[in-house]
Amino acid sequence: MAVYRETINITSAGSGDMTDLTSKVSEIVKKAEVTTGICHVFNFGSTGAIGTIELEPGLEQDFPNLMKKLVPPSKAYGHEQAWHDGNGHSHLQSSIVGAELTVPVEKGNIMNGTWQQIFHYEADTKSRNRKIIVTVIGE
């Protein structure tokens, strides 16, 4: 069983920014030379998230708008009351989406649908330098 790990570094534009990671993750899988296995994608940090979506302009607006409706900024969150840093909602939004994603690998490629991209979602209130850890495991 082979294990290969690499980090993708991105700089987000702040709250609601979505970054397409699909091609970079695909490149890492090819470097790993794993024919069959899994690819795990993990956001290092508590206010960013990883998911899949059809990453097109409409959904790039819809998704952040949905997150803001589901978990809007508020001073009422316990995190806000403890830290007063303006990002209590950011932690909650990223927790809803999740910090990780596992994608099957078959014939040396990630198995994603034609309109299914892997993305990073920035829930924090400001631009962040993010580390996305990609681990490929298989044979």
- pTM (2 d.p.): 0.96
Residues in the chain, total: 139
For 123, the token pair is 């829930």
* All domains of the chain in start order, with CATH: 2-138 (2.60.120.460)
Residue 115's pLDDT is 97
Closest by alpha carbon to 105, among 6, 29, 10?
Answer: 29
Residue 94's pLDDT is 98
Residue 132's pLDDT is 99
- Three-class SS state of 129: strand
Q: What is the DSSP letter of 33?
A: T
